[in-house]
A and B are shown apart, each in its own frame.
Chain A
Amino acid sequence: MYNSVKKYLKILVLASAAQGLFISPAYAEEAGHYGLGRIATPEEIAGWDIDVRPDGLGLPAGSGSVADGEGLYEGQCASCHGLFGEGEGRWPILAGGFDTLSEGRPEKTVGSYWPHASTLYDYIRRAMPFTAPQSLTADETYAITAYVLYLNEIVDEEFVLTKDNFSTIVMPNADGFFEDDRPDVRNPTCMKDCKDPSSIKVTSTIAGVTPTEHMEEGASNMTEEAPINEHGKGIYNQSCAVCHNNGMAGAPITGDKEVWADRTKPGMEAVINRAINGYVGEDGAMPAKGGNMSLSDEDVAAAVHYMVEQSQ
């Protein structure tokens, strides 16, 4: 950096002397320095530079145990990923699947597929939990990482993961990847008599798995629009839809009139309180504010109203 500044000053002096200008276009072209932007401070960089590399670059100070990770995982992760990392619905399976990679239906999990433990720390830190990214502390992230490694039998239950012992973790599929070596297929360009027509076997499409309503004659997308509680809808889509669209962890599905009629029997106030403060019962579990503590009580209430409106 010092050198480039010196060069900058030198050229500046020359340019000023020659043309009497402060910064000449010739300087800008030569040095590729447009003088745009400002230097990012170490504090600014620290706030945003959250990536962790396989060699450990970027790991923050801290530690977390498998035991601490268990509680955090059950509260923050299990509703999507399952208590044992088995995955709910179509959400990612985190554990198991060993020796399935060359099978007809491979199960690509952290244990069976991921080549680096750093990726686990990095991804939890930047993107998890799904509804509240970048909300975990460094220690919590260490603990959850340790627990997911434990679910995959990569560490034992006494293990405490720290910045210093991170590099000792070796993932089972560390050697499972190779650099792109394509083109891997060569198709000779034949123009005539390329194959025996009688050898062609036609396999049809599996019926009924594609949305095709729009292909029917005269189909219309115009539907009647009732006034919508837009604020509630926005909150719902961001923070509630993940569970309430498909009934995860016993969540009443939005649009299911029967279930909602039952849930709203105690009155709207009770339903909203449950959504704000959280709830655990035989019929399911609702994390406080859906796990997104940045929502105000009013936001949650608006979302609940939206869900009830959509389920009448």
Chain B
Amino acid sequence: MKKLSENTTDLLQEIKTEAAELPQNKRRDFMLNGLKLTAGTALATAVGKVVAGQENLPPNVPTWQKSLGRGVVSVPYGQPSKHEANLIRRTVEWLTADKIASISMSPLHKMKGIITPSGLHFERYHGGVPEVNPDDHRIMINGMVERPLLLTMDELMSFPSESHIHFLECPANGGMEWRGAQMEALQFTHGMLSGSEWTGVKLSTILQEAGIKPGAKWVLAEGADAAGMTRSIPLDKALDDTLVVFAQNGEMLRPEQGYPVRLFTPGWEGNTSVKWLRRLEVGDMPWAQREETSKYTDLLADGKARKHSFVQEVNSVITSPCPENPIKRKGLLQLEGLAWSGHGKVKRVDVSLDGGVSWQTAKLKGLVLSKSLTRFGMEINWQGEPLLLQSRAVDETGYVQPTLSQLREVRGTNSIYHKNSIHTWQVQTDGAVNNVQLG
């Protein structure tokens, strides 16, 4: 009898703790059900059949199998399981003056494969998300063209289109850590990065429809947001692989990603892929817009600044283990990470367990596509020893991801943008993982 009462006390405490995490309106029901359950469980435990908290585990049949589930279209647009409520975008509030001109990061620590669910794609707004009505939206092509054009969405989508898988990265990704490590989570050190399948019309097709005049060298892309976001794109890139995108991962773009239409410049810094695209102007020189002079230029130690630094050079990071994914058990461990390059395909990724003293080549997993997130992995046998984990990616141009010391040596610490250095996670003997930098 004494044992039974102890179990019951524990169970009551557990119910109370769990209830504290629920919304108030659900809390009462939960407590009532729990108390009913306690009475039954206490009795069952007494005869050795059900152990508290294991009602759904074998040999018992789980509760969800003993009643019918919900039917089709009970949720017409599917949502993630309620048990995945922690899988969300997050921001670091002190980074910006307010949330309208700000950034959020993707939860890289929980993501699989190379495609980011559209609802988890990182956000970057310069004037908030405009609510564009596609029926009233027009795309204007003007400047040095034979025929200035005005296109409806329907007309745009009637051009031949293609789909490509590419990463999109803000050049400020990692930019908080030029001077030192200060983010205690992968989501904040590398989360201004996502990967999607993008569908759209080649910009070259649209520019040819308008007829490019001789002497043209640049294209200005302009958004329909409150910031009237603008970037000058060299004509070579515009005629190469730049897309005018209307769909992402099989559906129309999300408002956060530029609904109903955005530019997409594969491999280039995210802000050149101007969202809510309303106008393309062809000209013979860059427009020196605010976002390509005062911002998105890389200030070096000597006070001079690099401009038109469009390409996101090769980069990589280990996504597990990481601060959010500590090591939970000794033995074989699946180390995983992401690598990407704005210059093309990832050719190789090396991993170091000892802070860069020695390196082993990891396996590239799944699709290896140009200017796309690429998965790498390696199996290691961990027996509780401290580690300094690093990954080093090489792309098909032969460019090797640099160390932070190498970057600082040539750029100083004031660049903000384009910090693509090798990242270090420190694994402690208990499996906890910290963000550190090596000197």
- B residues 419-439 with Cβ under 8 Å of A? 426, 434-439
Q: Are B358 and A49 in contact (CB under 8 A)?
A: no
The CA-CA distance from A211 to B281 in the complex, in Å, is 41
Which residue on A lies nearest to B143, using beta carbons?
A49
A238 — nearest CB in chain B belongs to which residue? B128
Is A134 engaged at the interface, CB distance under 8 Å to the other chain?
yes
| Contact (Cβ within 8 A) A185 B287 | no
Q: Is B216 on the interface with A (CB-CB < 8 A)?
A: no
Q: Is A101 positioned at the interface, with any CB of B under 8 Å from its CB?
A: yes
Task: Indicate if the CB atoms of B437 and A127 lie closer than 8 Å.
Answer: no
Residues of A within 8 A of B159 (CB): 34, 36
Task: Tell me whether B25 is interfacial, beta carbon within 8 Å.
Answer: yes
The answer to whether residues A182 and B88 also contact, given A127-B227, A176-B304 and a CB cut-off of 8 A, is no
Given contacts A51-B220, A178-B304, A187-B402, contact A203 B436 (CB under 8 A): yes
| In the complex, chain B residues whose CB is within 8 Å of the CB of A194 | 356-359
Interface string of B290-334 (1 = CB under 8 A from A): 100110010101111111111101000000000110000000000
Could you tell me if B411 and A184 are in contact, using CB atoms closer than 8 angstroms?
yes
Q: Which of B97, B307, B350, B407 contacts A89 (CB 8 A)?
A: B97
**Inside 8 A of B96's CB, which chain A residues have their CB?**
90
Task: Report how far A176 CA is from B402 CA in the complex, Å.
Answer: 26
Answer whether residue A116 sits at the interface, using C-beta atoms and an 8 A cutoff.
Answer: yes
Whether A159 sits at the interface, judged by CB under 8 Å, is no
List the A residue with the shortest CB-CB distance to B413.
A104
Q: Are A197 and B185 in contact (CB under 8 A)?
A: no
Contact across chains for A187 and B400 when beta carbons are under 8 A apart: yes
A310 at the interface (CB under 8 A from B): no
Complexed CA–CA distance, A181 and B22 (Å): 55
**A119-B293, A183-B313, A222-B23 given; A178·B401 CB < 8 A:** no
CB < 8 Å neighbour of A36 from B148, B151, B310: B151
Interface size class of chain A, counting residues whose CB lies under 8 Å from the partner chain: 35 or more
Segment at the B interface, from A16-24, A241-249, A263-271, A295-303: A241-249
Bound-state CA distance A127–B227 (Å) is 5
Min distance, Cβ B211 to any Cβ of chain A, angstroms: 6
B 185-208 to A, binary, CB cutoff 8 A, 1 in contact else 0: 100100000000000000001001
Q: Are A221 and B301 in contact (CB under 8 A)?
A: no
Which of B91, B209, B220, B392 is close to A34, meaning CB atoms less than 8 Å apart?
A: B209
Whether A101 touches B299, Cβ cut-off 8 Å, given contacts A37-B149, A89-B97, A180-B307, is yes
The size class of the interface chain B forms with chain A is: 35 or more
| A1 and B146 form a contact (CB under 8 A) | yes
The answer on a CB contact under 8 Å between A191 and B288 is no
In the complex, which residue of chain B has the Cβ closest to the Cβ of A246? B98
Contacts of B151 in A (CB 8 A): 36-37
Q: How far is the CA of A196 from the CA of B438 in the complex (A)?
A: 13
Pick from A39-47, A161-169, A273-281 the stretch touching chain B.
Answer: A39-47
B228 contacts A187, C-beta separation under 8 Å: no
A209 adjacent to chain B (CB < 8 Å): yes
Q: How does the 8 Å CB contact mask read for A166-202 relative to B, with 1 for contact and 0 for none?
A: 0000000000111111111111111111111100111
What distance in Å separates the Cβ of B178 from its nearest Cβ neighbour in chain A? 11
Shortest CB–CB separation between residue B406 and chain A, in angstroms? 5
Q: Are A115 and B358 in contact (CB under 8 A)?
A: no
Name the interface residues of B371-429: CB closer than 8 Å to any CB of A.
Answer: 388, 392, 394, 399-403, 406-407, 410-411, 413-414, 418, 426
Find out whether the CB atom of A123 lies under 8 angstroms from the CB atom of B304.
no
From B99, B140, B226, B357, contact of A45 by CB (8 A): B140
Is the pair B94, A209 in contact by a Cβ cutoff of 8 Å? yes
| CB neighbours of B290 from chain A (8 A) | 119, 122-123, 127
Nearest B residue to A183, CB-CB: B399
Contact check, A203 vs B181: say whether CB atoms are below 8 A apart. Answer: yes
Is the beta-carbon distance between A203 and B303 smaller than 8 angstroms?
A: no
Given contacts A122-B290, A127-B127, are A36 and B305 in contact (CB under 8 A)?
A: no
**5 nearest A-B pairs in the assembled complex, by CB-CB distance:** A102-B303, A126-B228, A101-B303, A32-B208, A201-B439
Known A-B contacts: A90-B94, A102-B303, A237-B128. Give 12 more (CB < 8 A): A130-B100, A176-B305, A177-B297, A187-B403, A194-B357, A201-B438, A202-B355, A202-B438, A203-B436, A203-B437, A214-B90, A224-B24
Q: List 14 A-B contacts (CB under 8 A).
A: A1-B146, A40-B140, A48-B142, A50-B228, A90-B96, A108-B294, A119-B294, A133-B228, A182-B313, A185-B410, A197-B357, A205-B434, A220-B85, A242-B98
Contact surface of B with A, Cβ cutoff 8 Å: 21-25, 85-86, 88, 90-94, 96-101, 126-128, 140-143, 146-152, 155-156, 158-159, 180-185, 188, 205, 208-209, 211, 220, 222, 226-228, 230, 278-279, 281, 283, 285, 287-290, 293-294, 297, 299, 301-311, 313, 323-324, 350, 354-360, 388, 392, 394, 399-403, 406-407, 410-411, 413-414, 418, 426, 434-439
